[in-house]
Every structure is written in structure tokens, then in C-alpha cells.
Amino acid sequence: MQAIILAAGRGSRLTPVLKGRPKCLAPVGEINLIEYQLAALRSFGITDVCVVLGYCGNQVRQAIGDRCHYVVNRRYAKTNSLYSLWLTRNWVQDDFILMNSDVLAHPQVYQRLLETPGNALAYDSSSGTEAEQMKVAFRENKLRRISKKLSVEKAHGESTGLLKFTASSIKSFFNAAETALAIGGENQWAPAAIEQLAREMPIFGADIADLPWVEIDFPEDWHHACERIWPKIRKAVVSSKLKHTVPSPAALREILLESEVA
């Protein structure tokens, strides 16, 4: 299985936290976001990962080295995640996870998504009431709408930005991305392609409302991630590896990078 991490954005709203670093290198506890994501993926046997770079891409390369394949969105300042996604069309060849680089999610979120048959989207049914949130609507647990503009009354929750697609859907998926680009232009979110694909084939929902996760867009999201979400993830990681022993920060980071996350 493969994975695509969309990490081209600058994250300008997080400037006080990032201090010039790209969004995916935001620190959470003993590790940064993308390092944790890679560790989580590896814990489920997913090591073939493509990272789409843009803003300060060299910093990301220095942080994670040769563990990933890289695609560079040189037009990141004028495009959005849909265009970044489209740039991976010649790389992906197998079942794959698609994810945003600003999502911190408990290992069981990944597990629940992977256990959902076919194409799947992890969503939180307890969320989706704010304008900034990427809202979703389902019919018989099949995705029908995914948009920030979806009304709260019609929404069934918020997308976590974690999705899974089968190899058999790749051609249709990137055709949908190309169609969305042609209709709405390059400055769109990746969900424009996902909604287009949902008209052709089923994308099932995996509700993770009972599990900790956060999308980090604003400084308050980062504080929530560090103070509330990360401690729960840390506890899960430590208990799975070291039972009740509390490791040093350096030891915990080593555990994560050894992929003992699940």
C-alpha cells in the first residue's frame, strides 16, 4: 500500500508557531507532525510514501531524508491542494492513503480507516458546525458531498483529511481531479476531486468521533494538539511499547520513528 501526504502549503495562519518552518514541521511533543504521520503509516506497514513539497521544501527534505519519494509543487503559492494532488498522478500505482500534513490523529483513526472496505473517508460525526471545517454528507454511509460550503443542517460531520482509495479507483480518481481542475481552476481544495469521484463510485464513511484528532490550522489548534491530543496519543504509544514505563523525550521519539505506533 502507498500513501500521499500533501505538504506544500505555507500555513501562514500558524506563523507565530512555525517561525518560518513549513506547516508539516510544526512540533507536537517530542516529534513534528510529518514525522509522527510517517511513523503511524509505517506501523501499519505503509512505507511507500510520496510527500508533495512546496513552501520551504528543503527543510522537509532535511527533516525526513530519503524515507519518502518527493513531488514538488513549484506553484504552491498560486495553487491549492487539488493541484498538489494532481501532481502525484504518475506516481501512485496501488491502494493508497491520502492525507493532509496538518492532521494529528490517534493510531486507531488510521486503523479504523484501513479496516473500512473499499474507498473510505475518516470523518468525525460530532463535528462540522464551523465555517472553516470541511463538512461531509452521506447517504446510506456513501459520501455525497464534501465541502466547506455545505450547510450545517445537511452535514453529517467533518472530514479528518484522511482517506483511502483502492488501486482500481486510481484512473477514475485522477480523471475526477482533472475534471475538477478544468471546472473550478487550480486554487481548489483536494475534496473537489473527491466529491467528483463520489458521483461515480462509492466512498464509505468511517466515523472516528470517539477518537482524538485535530487539524492544525490556527495557533489555538496547535495548543489543543499539544495539550490535549498529543498526550492521549503519547499514552497509546508508550503503553503499546513500554507498558507503564515512561520514557525520556528522546526515547519516545525513537519509539515513534521505529514505527511502534499502533
**Residue 149, Cβ neighbours under 10 Å: how many?**
8
pLDDT tens sequence across 32-54: 999 999 989 988 999 999 999 99
Residue range 51-69: average pLDDT? 95
Is the confidence at residue 259, as pLDDT, over 70?
A: no
Report how far residue 239's alpha carbon sits from residue 233's, in angstroms, rounded to the nearest whole number: 10
Is the confidence at residue 242, as pLDDT, over 50?
A: no
Q: Which residues pair with 208 in a beta bridge?
A: none
- Asked if 163 and 122 count as a contact pair (C-beta separation under 8 A), the reply is yes
Is the confidence at residue 205, as pLDDT, over 50?
A: yes
pLDDT tens sequence across 132-149: 999 999 999 999 999 999
The band of 30, judged by pLDDT with boundaries at 50, 70 and 90, is confident
Tallying the residues shown for the chain, one arrives at 262
The band of 18, judged by pLDDT with boundaries at 50, 70 and 90, is confident
pLDDT tens sequence across 80-123: 999 999 999 999 999 999 999 999 999 999 999 999 999 999 99
Residue range 209-230: average pLDDT? 96
DSSP secondary structure code for residue 13 in this structure: G
